[in-house]
Structure 1
Amino acid sequence: MTETLVALDLETTGLDANRDAIIQIGAVKFRGERIEGEYETLVNPGVPIPGFISELTGITDAMVARAPALAAALPELLRFVGNAPVIGHNLKFDLGFLQKHGALRNNVSIDTYDLASALLPSASRYALVALAAELGVPLRDAHRALNDARATQQVYGLLAKRADELSLDTLSELVRLAADVEWGADYTFQDALRRRTEQGAAPKRRRAGAPERGLFAGGGAAAGPALQPADEPAPLDEAPLVEMFKPGGALAAQFSSYESRPQQLKMMRAVARALSGQRHLLVEAGTGTGKSLAYLVPAICWAAQSDWRVVISTNTINLQDQLMRKDLPALQQALPQEFRAAVLKGRGNYVCPRLFDAMRRRPVRTLDEMRVLAKLLVWLPQSETGDRSELTLTGPGELEVWLRLSAEDEGCTTERCATLQGGSCPFYRAKRAAESAHVLVVNHALLLADAASENRVLPEYQYLIVDEAHHLEAATTDGLSFVARQSELEFRLRALTGPQSGLLAQVVARVGSQLGVGQQAGLRHQTEGVAAAQAAVLVHVANFFQQAGRFALAAGDGEVGAYSRKVRLRDEARESGEWAEVLLAWDNLKNGLQPVVQGLQRVARAVIEVQDDGAAELDDLLTALAGVVRWLTNFNDQLQGIVEQADAARICWVELGPNARSPSLHSAPLAVGPLLEKHLWFAKRAVVLTSATLATDEGFAYIKKRLHAHDADELIVGSPFNYRENTLICVAEDMPEPAQGALFQRKLEQGLAALCIATKGRALVLFTSHAQLRQTAGYLRAPLERAGIRVFDQIASSTSRHQLLQSFRAAEHAVLLGARSFWEGVDVVGESLSVLVITKLPFDVPSDPIIEARGATFEDTFGEYTVPEAALRLRQGFGRLIRSKSDRGVVVIFDRRVRSKAYGVHFLDALPACEVRDTPLALLPETAALWLADNN
């Protein structure tokens, strides 16, 4: 770009342009890489600068006291900018403050956020600081206006070069799509396209409706020949496997930090024997065992030797990525056996070429649509997988667009992909690679979807290893649950109509042109009938969910606060007068949905008649119509099961959102054991379940009962860490009981503040409720920050969990406050995490419908169900502290019920053998600080 541009940044007293004020302006004028001038001024806002803004920017009231008011500063800024296009990061924010004073209303605007979102589709974050780091742009003292403007100018220059490198076809389509929406990147792409066409280049033309296979040309995982499983596979020879695990063996040669561990070798042998002997096995492998290699090596050797596929299921994306990006590629180098490995995810993880083409054909409706389409146009030619894990999607709007573009639609089949997309469909490619893989990595959700669909999702397999198996029951529950939301049903119904983009309008436009006058009138009559039925049923949708909300409100004495309420649909609840109103509203909704579904089926038949005449490009319309019919039918059937309680094996409830908003209806399976028994234990030759936390203090009896794993072999492999020497547990012996409410909270806050100051932070504090976390964070922030200790709060933070953990690791003295998701998956090695605080024992909420219903199936609900579940969760939390042999740390339990209640022994006995001290609150800070000083 050869014209003069101006990069602009403001610092303000807040985020609201109508209420807050500017405190600093910075601007950089440049042409190409040459800087033509800079402008910077502080601005007196006429009001005090909030403390957190001063902390963020370094700008204080004293600094702006003699600065010009905005009215005096603006003329100089306007002279500096002139008519030049203005560049900024999230530029709408800055322009909002200036344009309300009449400034820069007519200048072209360019937003580096939108540019980066399109040109860096896989960037970890799109904040200016993060982009500068990713692109190698220096940025010191961020949140000072001129520094940020300088960084914006350099980031823009690098992004503009990337725009110039795009293909002419991509540039042309970006410009075409942006014509219908206000998008902060369009000017840059228009300029790049103009210069390219001036050089004589021209974009390709493609037939309307034809899929653009070039965008989906990534190779994906190579599909090999089909497996030929041996009828009677020979057992594994363990001796060569043992050699691999020895010091100096194949694994030590491949993994630089590898160390031989007897616990790992013991687990490897057990997995090998389970596969060879066609036995089921439960393995608890303590932290530091190296269980991934302990099951991967025998699984690979078994699959390569027998040609029987081994499926490995994980719960988290992190572990799945570790296996596919690190462990399996390394083992392909280390092991003498040749094997193929692949990952298969649910359809919703892959972009659908048909839906992508359909969205590109119609006008862009929203900024989120434009951003996602731009990402895909840039990303797809580079991607080998078409897997959304490679993309960074920000906010619910972009995620909703992805859902409309993903291959989740079951109207698509692998056969359809092969025929219509020429094998370019990412999901088809992934499935084809899976069918030839010796080792197939999936997640629990897909594993259970395969079981629930009678094995129609995954390729045939008989050998299964489930890692993170402590999540198996919850994952099965989630996979077999259903929720009916008003917003989702209304979205599906409203997508049918619309003058241009509605499905019915597309049918009329694309099918009608191929019909005679009489047939056109008939088709229009059918689509108008569906539209009328849709308008009528939308009234019943609103009434039904309104009545459901009134029912939930009445069930709680008419009071609702800032938290959601769940009302289980027991027999007595279904006999109330409010529920009778729900039933009446349901009859109207059910009867209203029927003509919509029937009308769509008639429209589909009309399209088929044209299809038979050779109009094959209408296939996507047929698929879309079939998908809507299928979705509405399933929604109706599932909701009917909830309202009419058609299945006693399911738990049903109504949920009311905070402040009595967004009522929804839910159902979940009462027990998952029978499903696992049928589809795993009875159906597969060998199933291995492994986790760091499967057993309670009474062994595997609890997990076996929950999962119906009655005949599985058992193995507990201890951790190689010496907890007796590297961990101290302190129980606050004089804490009030949690039931004492305000007194407990006050003592917790005081005790935590003193403890964290004494240990100089370095603490992870685990809570069982967001409310308590929020209240405690409010108390702790001031005293800890005065002591130089940063407080990271899961609830107040606007960053992701990953970013929060990164910030905590990087801070020298910090405290991280986390709720349920932080009880596991936190891996902070070293002194940054030296103190783990358990605020309360992690009992489930007893009134939760699933917990309540399942608990009722036990003779002793508390002792047989509530305590074992909480003990397993405590073990998960405990495991956050010691992550390497060199780690040392203190666990502080503020819930003295581990000592004062008879059941408390089950919690302490479930933890590794450590030194346990009963410590008065007053001595906790000194005890923890001295122990850490003596042991580090």
Structure 2
Amino acid sequence: MTKPIYAVVDLETTGHSAKRGDRIIQIAIVRVQDGEILDTYNQFVNPEQPIPAFIAQLTNIQNELVAAYETFEHYAKDVYERLRGTVFVAHNASFDLSFLQQEFERCGLERWRGEVLDTVELAKIMYPRASSYRLLELADELGIPLGNAHRADDDATATAQLLVKILKKMHTLPKQTLQYLHKHSFILKSNVSTLLYECLKEQRESHSITLYKGLALKEPHHPIRMTETKHFPLEMDEQYALLQEINPSYERRPVQLNYMTSVYDALKQKQEVALEIPNGVGKTLGYLIPSVLYAEEMKRPVVISTYTNELVDALVEKEIKKLDRLFKVPIRVAVLKGREQYISLSKFLQVLTVTNHSYDETLTILQLIVWLSETETGDLSEVNVSGGGQLLLDRIRKRTHELSSEEKPFDFHQRAVGKAQDAQLVVTNHSLLLANHSYPFIHEACGLIIDEAHQMSNIAMRNVETVFRYTRWKYVIGQLIGEGEYDLLTRLTTLFERKQQPYKSKKRQLIRAYDQLVDQFDLFIRQLVQQLKPNRTSTTKHTVHLDATVIHQLSLQSLHQAMFLFLRSAQQFIEPLEHLYLVEKERAFVQEWQDWVTQYEQKMDDWIELFTVVPQSTEETFIEYDERSVPGSVVFVKKPITSAPLLRSFVHSLKEESFGIVWTSGTLRVPSYESFIPKQLGLPEDVPIETFPAPSSFYDHASIWLVEDMPQIDEVKEDEYIELVADSIVQTTYATAGNVFVLFTSQQMLQKTVHLIQDSELLEEHPIFAQGVTSGSAAKLLKLFHQTEGSLLFGTNQFWEGLDVRDESVRAVIVVRLPFSSPKDPLYRLRSEQLASENGGHPFYDYGLPEALVRFRQGFTRLMRRTEGRTSFILLDKRLETKQYGHYFIDSLPQLPIRKVNVDSIVGQLSNWYGGANDRWKK
């Protein structure tokens, strides 16, 4: 049988719509058959209209170039013939094909007919873990050369190579995976189902997989054990030799070697210590090497805990893999995250059983089917899904420890817990570590390393807080009451009728209970908000402390009655079906209903915790809302005021295990506030705190700049201030040619600044990734920033710390505002009041300022660590000079000269600092 010919097409055009007069300026066709490129066609086209400036800049196709060629009418028939009988392929095929069809029609040709494949759609399915599906980033991740992005010939060639890779991978998938893919592929926008059918016809044997109810899962990996036990060397030369085995070019740093010894001694002597060492000096390898060696000695794991799941992944994927070179075999690592991070196979099978999914849901299902044949972790954060797919991921998360005996051997969370028993290192996050009573791994360990230790305070309080969001509550009950064609209630109604079971009275009761619940809830919230409404303020967003005296008890009592009535109605509605014989698909609907009822019960528990459990003196309960959208914006929170008792209780629970505990961070002390973090961590005075200063030359590549003609924010209008911020960012980008990290404290100011820069078109050559503007998580935006030369990354508090920023990715860091917490934050206010009442402390100087200093110092040490080339820390906040506390921030930084600069002179002075490498930007 003749293999199909794929015509991979890419167009460059003057705009997005041929119908509105836009024209082609370049077309490329790369034809592929049986995994090989047959031929390439590349043609520039005269559009008979000026090429917009931003298109010319993006494609590097100028008016002078295309003027020498014919119009598309001259090439149309040749192009049409090249596509005849082929499968049309493009990256975002709907654009290229629709544009060509319009042009064919305009030139008097028939519309092209044939099968279509979209490599965006295919790549999402076949590479579910890719960080981005833009051609440039995808090509980089898959090792596909792409010389000039946004030139049709190079883009078409790269897309053709991407297609070849996709086809090859498709032919390696297990047959069971292909069967599931084919079954669910008919709703896709391109002809993927035909491709899968042809692939399925080939016989194949599935290797290295295990089957769970027909789902192909990757066979669990069993790591090789070390044949030779290494011991931790006590001499510095021997320690350095270990590091050289990992990387012969490692710079010898006595501070790192001393740190390694202190970590090992603490583990060996079963001591609790706190060790401060700047980020980038070698902290991570400094605790990993002694941890692995000690774990091998004791034949028990050392637990490593860090701040976020993103840092957990970075630790495992980058740092721990380096140790494989030292020990000649992979380190036995168990990664443990909260169970909701893992897929529930039984819930996913329920989803597969139910038909009539939306396009986004279907695409996500196909991604998950491929991913399950590849993943070793079952961690859903590995999958890059669209916005609509996120809702489906939430439906299939593992939320309880309960498992059937059939599912238990296949459950990824159970696998991870079991793997911890035989690991050398167990890597987890602070939140899970503090919930250790649910997990045995901590009690089987021989040591504990707490990295990013300064963050334990926030995590400890977050772990015990109660949060009730109106929107999430409304979404949960909405799953039980929606009566759309594909909603659960409609499907169950059909099932009742098919089984000839009575249901109408119970359904009416359920709907009445729902209406009463929503009415009571909305009434309670509106009364509460009206009662709490502050006097005239310039903002519509409010955070207000709650106490028992402001709660309308009768309304609350009526609301609780309505809550319980709805719960009982939802439970009783499904009872007639629970004891009937049901086929798998029917049972899936009943199980899904029960799952949503359980989630509703959990929301009720949170509500009861907020309003019926009397808060302790160390707790705060408050409400957040925007008066423009009540009740939708309402969030209720109860959280502790201080973390020290929680953390001491945690450490005390580990004392009986008798192992060493190492608290470590780039920031454990700040000048003038040496005891601030230790007090928050509840460290007793007898716990030694050792500081390992960076080598004197460590920040030779860094410079600190203060833009001194920036006004204070309250001196000018907001729009004027944002214009100056945007101008500073643009000038800095001109001087550095991009790779700029911009840190804000306000999401609103970030968005306005991004939109202003985009509207100005002054940085069109530089991709901008912005938190809250660009879709994706903070970790995804950071990955895109790493991958995209010359780009800018805009972020708020989460980017100050808690993400792994590689030093080579940053040429300049711009700090728009000093990272103070808002004085309107109820927790800030309560802590301030507590300080004042306990010892007459000053709320700002004893809490607000040191908290900001920690964040500021941590941000500098995390970001300013290039091994080659120069980088600049640029401060736009005038308060560093005008306020009495400004010197505290300067004192918290390494002893570097502060260079002063005006907005207009940034380009020249920064260019001189960078050695004139970017002279082309000088004005």
TM-score w.r.t. length of structure 1 = 0.80
Letter in 1 for 2:816: T
Distance 1:917 1:191, change over 3 A: closer
CA distance in 1, matches of 2:874, 2:9: 49
Output aligned runs, 1:521-532, within 5 Å.
524-525=501-502, 529=506
Distance 1:779 1:321 in 2: 35
Alpha-carbon distance in structure 2 between the residues aligned to 1:532 and 1:66: 76
Contact conserved, 2:624 with 2:636, CA < 8 A, in 1? yes
Q: How does 1:419-458 map to 2 (within 5 A)?
A: 419-421=405-407, 423-450=409-436, 455=439
State yes or no: 1:467 paired with 2:432. no
Alignment-mate amino acid for residue 623 of structure 2? W
Q: Which moved more, 1:583-592 or 1:258-267?
A: 583-592
Deviations 1:747-766 (A, max 9, x none): 55556655665666675443
**Between 134-143 and 836-845, the greater mean CA deviation after superposition:** 134-143
- Would you say 1:393 and 2:400 are equivalent positions? no
Write the deviation string for residues 629-678 of structure 1: whole angstroms up to 9, x where unpaired: 43211101213444668535243323349877942423141333332222
Write the deviation string for residues 445-501 of structure 1: whole angstroms up to 9, x where unpaired: 3223435x5x57866547421112222233334444424243564356426877997
* Aligned residue runs from structure 1 range 878-917, under 5 A: 878-880=860-862, 882-884=864-866, 888-916=870-898
| Matched residue type, 1:740 | E
Report deviation, 1:441. 0.7
- 767-776 or 691-700, larger mean C-alpha shift: 767-776
Q: Check if 1:843 corresponds to 2:834.
A: no
> 1:56 corresponds to which residue?
58
Q: Judge conservation of contact 1:597–1:633 (CA < 8 Å) in 2.
A: no
The verdict on how the C-alpha distance between 1:18 and 1:706 changes in structure 2, with shifts beyond 3 A counting, is: farther
Find the residue that maps to 1:242 and give its secondary structure.
Answer: coil
Letter in 2 for 1:395: S
SS in 2 for 1:343: strand
Q: Does 1:719 align with 2:694?
A: yes
2:675 is matched with 701
Question: Given the alignment, which residue of 740, 749, 773 partners 1:772?
Answer: 749
Q: Is the 1:485–1:665 contact (alpha carbons within 8 Å) kept by the matching residues of 2?
A: yes
Aligned counterpart in structure 1 of residue 666 of structure 2, from 660, 682, 692: 692
Contact 1:693 1:876 (8 Å CA) reproduced: yes
Aligned residues of 1:651 and 1:667 also touching (Cα < 8 A)? yes
Does the CA contact (< 8 Å) of 2:816 and 2:875 recur in 1? yes
Structure 2 CA distance for partners of 1:180 and 1:459, relative to 1, 3 Å: farther
**Residue aligning to 1:517:** none
Q: 1:507 to 1:365 in 2, by over 3 A?
A: same
CA distance in 1, matches of 2:833, 2:622: 15
Other-structure match for 2:770: 794
Is 1:381 the counterpart of 2:373? The answer is yes
Please say if residues 176 and 215 of structure 2, whose CA atoms lie closer than 8 Å, have aligned partners that are also in contact.
no
Contact 1:548 1:582 (C-alpha < 8 Å) held by counterparts: no
- 1:715 and 1:726 map into 2 onto residues whose CA distance is 26
Q: CA deviation at 1:868?
A: 0.8
- Contact 2:336–2:417 (8 Å) recurs in 1: yes
Name the structure 1 match of 2:471. Answer: 486
Matches within 5 A, 1:179-328: 179=186, 184-193=191-200, 195-196=201-202, 211-212=212-213, 215-220=216-221, 240-243=232-235, 246=238, 249-317=241-309, 319-328=311-320
Query: Partner of 1:846: helix, strand, or coil?
Result: coil
Q: Which moved more, 1:279-288 or 1:623-632?
A: 623-632
The secondary structure found in structure 2 opposite 1:294 is helix
Instruction: Show structure 2 runs of 5+ residues with no match.
Output: 837-841, 919-923
Match of 2:394 among 390, 394, 403: 403
Conserved? CA contact 1:112–1:156, under 8 Å: yes
SS of the aligned residue for 1:394 comes to coil
Q: Return the alpha-carbon distance in structure 1 between the equivalents of residues 628 and 87 of structure 2.
A: 45
Q: Write the distance in 2 (CA, Å) between the matches of 1:148 and 1:339.
A: 40
Structure 2 CA distance for partners of 1:717 and 1:526, relative to 1, 3 Å: farther
Equivalent residue, structure 2, for 1:674: 645
Q: 1: distance between equivalents of 2:577 and 2:884?
A: 66
- Structure 1 residues 509, 774: closer, same or farther in 2, change over 3 A? closer
Change (3 A) 1:327 1:814: closer
Residues 542 and 371 of structure 1: is their aligned pair in 2 closer, same or farther, counting only changes over 3 Å?
A: farther
Preserved CA contact (<8 Å) 1:560 1:658: no
2:460 — aligned with what?
476
Partners of 2:223 and 2:330 within 8 A in 1: no
Structure 1 segment 602-617 matched on structure 2, within 5 A: 602=575, 606=579
| Deviation larger for 368-377 or 632-641 | 368-377
Count, aligned residues: 888
Structure 1 residues 597, 713: CA separation in 2 closer, same or farther (over 3 Å shift)? farther
After superposition, where does 1:6-85 map in structure 2 within 5 Å? 6-11=7-12, 21=22, 23-24=24-25, 26=27, 28=29, 30=31, 32=33, 33=36, 35=38, 38=41, 42=45, 44=47, 50-58=52-60, 81-82=83-84, 84-85=86-87
Q: Which residue in 2 is equivalent to 1:867?
A: 849
Deviations 1:332-391 (A, max 9, x none): 6646999843222222333322223222223251223322332333333333333335x4
Tell me the SS of whatever aligns to 2:286.
helix
Distance 2:739 2:238 in 1: 36
Which residue of structure 2 lines up, in the alignment, with residue 232 of structure 1? none
SS at match of 1:7: strand
- Rate the CA distance shift 1:827–1:131 in 2: closer, same or farther, 3 A: closer
Measured in 1, the distance between the counterparts of 2:914 and 2:436 equals 49
Q: Is the 8 A contact 1:49 1:61 kept in 2?
A: yes
Q: Does 1:636 align with 2:637?
A: no
**RMSD after superposition:** 5.0
Distance in 1 (alpha carbons) for counterparts of 2:730 and 2:186: 56
Does the aligned pair in 2 maintain the 1:332–1:338 contact within 8 Å? yes
Report Cα offsets for 1:63-102 as digits up to 9, x if no partner: 8899999999988866664575432222234455567898
CA distance in structure 2 between the aligned counterparts of 1:45 and 1:626, rounded to whole angstroms: 64
Cα deviation, 1:597-616, whole Å, max 9, x if unaligned, reads 53268468637xx79xxx99
1:680–1:399: structure 2 CA closer, same or farther, 3 Å change rule?
farther
Choose 143-152 or 353-362, whichever is displaced more.
143-152
Q: Which range is displaced more, 184-193 or 98-107?
A: 98-107
Confirm or deny: 8 A CA contact 1:753 1:783 kept in the other structure. no
Quote the Cα distance in structure 2 between the aligned partners of 1:61 and 1:585: 72
Partner of 2:541: 565
Letter in 1 for 2:897: E
Query: Does the Cα contact within 8 Å between 2:245 and 2:325 map onto a contact in 1?
Result: no
Distance 2:279 2:520 in 1: 53
1:621, 1:129 → 2: CA distance?
42
For the residues of structure 1 that align with 2:880 and 2:302, how far apart are their CA atoms? 42
Q: Indicate conservation of the 8 Å contact 2:320/2:331, yes or no.
A: no
Retained in 2: the 8 A contact 1:10–1:22?
Answer: no
Distance 1:925 1:150 in 2: 38
User: How many angstroms does 1:7 deviate by?
Assistant: 3.5
The more displaced of 699-708 and 137-146 is 137-146
Q: 2:278–2:666: 8 Å Cα contact kept in structure 1?
A: yes
Alignment correspondent of 1:595: 568
Alpha-carbon offset, residue 393 of structure 1: 1.5
CA distance in 2, matches of 1:259, 1:625: 60
